[in-house]
Amino acid sequence: MLTKRIIPCLDVKEGRVVKGVQFVNLIDAGDPVELAAFYDREGADELVFLDISASHEGRQTMIDVVERVASQLAIPFTVGGGINSLEDMKRVLRAGADKVSVNTAALLRPELITEGADYFGSQCIVTAIDAKYDETLGSWRVYTHGGRKPTEWEVTAWAKEAVKRGSGEILLTSMDQDGEKSGFNLKLTKAVSEAVTVPVIASGGAGNAQHFYEAFTEGKADAGLAASIFHYKETSVREVKRELKGKGMVIR
Catalytic (active site) residue 130: yes
Do the Cβ atoms of 66 and 15 come closer than 8 Å? Answer: no
What is the spatial distance between Cα 17 and Cα 176, in angstroms, rounded to a whole number?
24
What is the spatial distance between Cα 113 and Cα 115, in angstroms, rounded to a whole number?
5
Nearer to another protein, 55 or 123 (CB): 123
| Closest-CA residue to 198 (of 220, 213, 225) | 220
State in angstroms the smallest separation of the CB of 77 from another protein.
Answer: 9
Beta carbons within 8 Å of 68's beta carbon, 6+ residues apart: 32, 33
Residue tagged active-site, from 40, 88, 98, 130: 130
Residue tagged active-site, from 11, 40, 88, 98: 11
What is the spatial distance between Cα 217 and Cα 224, in angstroms, rounded to a whole number?
12
Nearer to another protein, 247 or 252 (CB): 252
What is the spatial distance between Cα 166 and Cα 72, in angstroms, rounded to a whole number?
29
Q: Side chain identity at 134, as an amino acid letter?
A: D
State in angstroms the smallest separation of the CB of 45 from another protein.
Answer: 6
State in angstroms the smallest separation of the CB of 228 from another protein.
Answer: 24
* Residue 246: how many other CB atoms lie within 10 Å: 11
Do the Cβ atoms of 46 and 3 come closer than 8 Å? Answer: no
Nearer to another protein, 141 or 241 (CB): 241
State in angstroms the smallest separation of the CB of 179 from another protein.
Answer: 27
Catalytic (active site) residue 64: no
Q: Which residues bind another protein (CB under 8 A)?
A: 1-3, 5, 40, 45, 70-72, 74-76, 93-96, 98, 121-123, 168-169, 197-199, 222-223, 252
State in angstroms the smallest separation of the CB of 34 from another protein.
Answer: 15
Q: Which residues are catalytic?
A: 11, 130
